[in-house]
C-alpha cells in the first residue's frame, strides 16, 4: 500500500518536472523569438502596448502599469489629479463617470480625485464617490472671490442680458459663475496648488476606450501643455465681442505672442474669428500654462471686459484662445485615441465598431468630422 503511494507520488513529481522544463524552454524560445528578456514571462510578449512606449509614459520613470508608484497611497510619477466641479445632486452622474474611469484606466493608476463645490458636500455624496475607487478623494469648497460677481460688474446690465438671452444657458446666472471660475480660478484652488497636471472630468460622460498608458506621463514626456479631444465651433450670440477683446489684448501685448503660435486656427484668411475651440469638459493640462503670467494677464483683461456676464463667454473658447496665442502646435496634443461622450457630442476613434480597445460607432461619434478638428489636422 505504502509502495503504491510512493510510486504515485513519484509519477506526480515527474509530471510536474516535465511541465516545468516545458515552460522554461518555451519561455526561452519565445523570449528569443520576440526579443523579450525571458524573465518577465511569456505574457511580456503581449505587453508591448502603448504603456511600454516612452512617448506614452513607458520607460524607467513611468512607474509602469503595476509599479508600486501607482499604488493608491503611493506617490505618483506625476503630480496630477482628476478634477471636477460638481454639486450634490450630481452624485449619480458623477458615479457613472468615475465607474467608467476606474474600469477603463484609473483602476490601474490610482490618481487622486479632487471634487469642488460651491456648497458643502454631503456625507452621502462623499460615501457614494469613495465606494467606487481605491484612490484618494478630496472634497473642497470654492473660495468666495472665485464664485459670484466681481465688484466692477453692473449687475442690472447682467440681469438684462440673462432675461433677453435666446441661447442655451442664457438665463442661468450660476452657469456664468461656473465659466468664470473654470477660466480663471480652478488652477488657483488650494487643493490643486501642489499639482503639475490635471484632467478635467464631468458627470454623465462616457469613456469608450481602455487606456493602456498614462496620459499624464505622455504630457510630461513630450512637453505638451494642453490636451484635447473634441473641437466644435462656439455659438456666436454667446461670444459677440470676445474676439474683439482678444484682438485688443494682442495689440497691447504683442511681446507675449510667440511667432510659432496657433492663431490661424481661430481666425480665417480675412482675420475673422472662426469660433473654433477645444471643448474643455475634456482637457488634460500642464497647470504651469494656466499659472503663467501671460495667461493670467489675458484672463484679467477679459474679466474686466465683463463678457462673462454681459454675454455668456465660456471657459472653452477662453482656454482655446489662450492656447492659440501662447502655444505652438508641438505643445498641444489631440487625444484622438480616447473615445469620449459628453451629452450632445461624441468622439469615437475610427474602426472602433469592429476592432481595437474602444467600443463605439464612429457614425455616432462624429466630433472628429467637425470643421475645427479638420482645420486642426490641416495645420
The strand pairing partners of 226, in sequence order, are 285, 332
The bridge status of strand 283-286 relative to strand 197-200 is: antiparallel
Which residues fall within 8 angstroms of residue 271, CB to CB, at 6 or more apart?
Answer: none
**DSSP state letters, 314-374:** -HHHHHHHHHHHH--GGGEEE-TTS-EEETTEEE--TTTTTSSSB-S-TTT-BGGGSHHHH
Residue 320: exposure state from Cβ atoms within 10 A (0-12, 13-18, ≥19): buried
CA distance 338 to 347: 8
Give the whole-angstrom CA distance, residue 292 versus residue 289.
Answer: 5
Cβ atoms < 10 Å from Cβ of 59: 14
Q: Which three cell numbers stand for residue 177?
A: 459663475
Which pLDDT band holds residue 157 (cuts at 50, 70, 90)?
very high
CB 199 within 8 A of CB 226: no
| 315-326 vs 293-305: helix crossing angle, rounded to 10 | 140
**What is the structure's pLDDT at 84?**
98
pLDDT tens-digit readout, 102-116: 999 999 999 999 999
- Whole-angstrom CA distances from 322 to 18, 49, 138, 292 are 65, 34, 29, 11
Average pLDDT over residues 344-358: 92
Banded pLDDT at 370 (limits 50, 70, 90): confident
CB atoms near residue 360 (< 10 Å): 21
By C-alpha distance, which of 360, 366, 324 is closest to 345? 366
Residues 295-320, mean pLDDT to the nearest whole number: 98
- Residues labelled as active-site residues: 283
- Write down the pLDDT at residue 34: 34
> What's the rounded mean pLDDT across residues 152-172?
97
The pLDDT, as a whole number, for residue 20 is 52
pLDDT for 271: 96
What lies within 8 Å, CB to CB, of 92 at 6+ separation is 203
Report the candidate in 135, 132, 108, 111 with the shortest Cα–Cα distance to residue 49.
108
Answer for the pair 180, 148: CB distance below 8 angstroms, yes or no: no
Nearest partner of 199 among 79, 90, 93, 91, judged by Cα: 79
pLDDT digits (tens, 9 = 90+) for 183-228: 999 999 999 999 999 999 999 999 999 999 999 999 999 999 999 9
Residue 317 CA to its chain's centroid (Å):
17
**Please, what is the end-to-end C-alpha distance for the chain in angstroms?**
83
Coil, strand, or helix at residue 281? coil
Q: Determine the Cα–Cα distance for residues 258 and 197; give it in Å rounded to an integer.
A: 23
**Sequence-distant (≥ 6) Cβ neighbours of residue 341 within 8 angstroms:** 205, 206, 208, 347, 360, 365
CB-neighbour burial class of residue 100 (10 A; exposed 0-12, middle 13-18, buried 19+): middle
Distance CA 336, CA 334 (A): 5
The grid coordinates of residue 372 equal 475645427
So what's the pLDDT on residue 42? 34
Supply the mean pLDDT for the chain.
87
Model confidence, pTM: 0.83
Quote the DSSP letter at residue 103: I
The DSSP H or E segment spanning 105 is none
pLDDT per position as a tens digit, 9-66: 555 555 455 455 454 444 444 333 333 333 333 333 333 455 556 566 554 444 344 4
Q: Give the integer Cα–Cα distance in Å for 160 and 148.
A: 17
Amino acid at each position: 500500500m505504502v509502495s503504491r503511494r510512493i510510486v504515485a507520488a513519484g509519477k506526480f513529481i515527474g509530471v510536474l518536472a516535465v511541465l516545468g522544463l516545458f515552460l522554461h524552454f518555451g519561455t526561452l524560445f519565445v523570449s528569443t523569438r520576440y526579443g523579450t528578456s525571458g524573465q518577465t514571462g511569456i505574457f511580456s510578449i503581449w505587453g508591448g502596448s502603448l504603456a511600454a512606449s516612452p512617448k506614452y509614459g513607458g520607460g524607467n520613470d513611468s512607474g509602469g502599469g503595476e509599479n508600486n508608484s501607482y499604488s493608491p497611497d503611493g506617490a505618483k510619477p506625476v503630480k496630477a489629479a482628476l478634477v471636477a466641479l460638481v454639486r450634490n445632486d450630481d452624485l449619480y452622474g458623477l458615479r457613472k463617470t468615475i465607474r467608467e474611469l476606474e474600469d477603463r484606466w484609473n483602476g490601474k493608476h490610482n490618481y487622486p480625485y479632487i471634487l469642488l463645490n460651491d456648497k458643502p458636500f454631503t456625507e452621502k455624496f462623499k460615501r457614494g464617490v469613495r465606494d467606487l475607487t481605491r484612490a484618494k478623494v478630496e472634497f473642497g469648497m470654492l473660495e468666495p472671490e472665485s464664485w459670484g460677481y466681481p465688484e466692477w460688474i453692473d449687475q442690472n446690465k447682467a440681469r438684462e442680458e440673462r432675461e433677453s438671452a435666446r441661447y442655451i444657458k442664457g438665463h442661468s446666472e450660476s452657469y456664468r459663475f461656473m465659466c468664470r471660475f473654470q477660466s480663471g480660478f480652478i488652477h488657483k484652488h488650494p487643493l490643486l496648488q501642489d499639482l503639475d497636471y490635471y484632467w478635467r472630468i464631468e458627470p454623465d460622460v462616457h469613456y469608450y476606450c481602455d487606456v493602456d498608458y498614462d496620459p499624464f506621463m505622455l504630457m510630461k514626456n513630450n512637453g505638451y501643455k494642453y490636451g484635447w479631444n473634441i473641437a466644435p465651433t462656439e455659438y456666436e450670440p454667446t461670444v459677440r465681442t470676445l474676439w474683439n477683446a482678444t484682438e485688443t489684448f494682442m495689440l497691447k501685448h504683442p511681446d507675449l505672442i510667440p511667432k510659432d503660435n496657433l492663431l490661424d486656427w481661430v481666425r480665417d484668411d480675412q482675420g475673422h474669428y472662426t469660433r473654433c475651440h477645444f471643448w474643455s469638459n475634456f482637457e488634460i493640462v500642464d497647470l504651469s500654462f494656466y499659472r503663467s503670467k501671460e495667461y493670467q494677464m489675458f484672463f484679467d483683461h477679459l474679466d474686466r471686459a465683463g463678457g462673462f456676464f454681459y454675454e455668456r463667454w465660456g471657459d472653452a473658447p477662453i482656454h482655446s484662445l489662450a492656447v492659440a496665442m501662447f502655444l505652438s502646435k508641438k505643445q498641444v496634443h489631440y487625444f484622438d485615441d480616447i473615445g469620449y461622450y459628453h451629452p450632445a457630442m461624441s468622439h469615437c476613434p475610427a474602426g472602433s465598431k469592429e476592432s481595437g480597445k474602444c467600443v463605439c460607432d464612429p457614425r455616432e461619434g462624429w466630433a472628429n468630422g467637425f470643421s475645427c478638428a479638420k482645420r486642426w489636422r490641416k495645420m
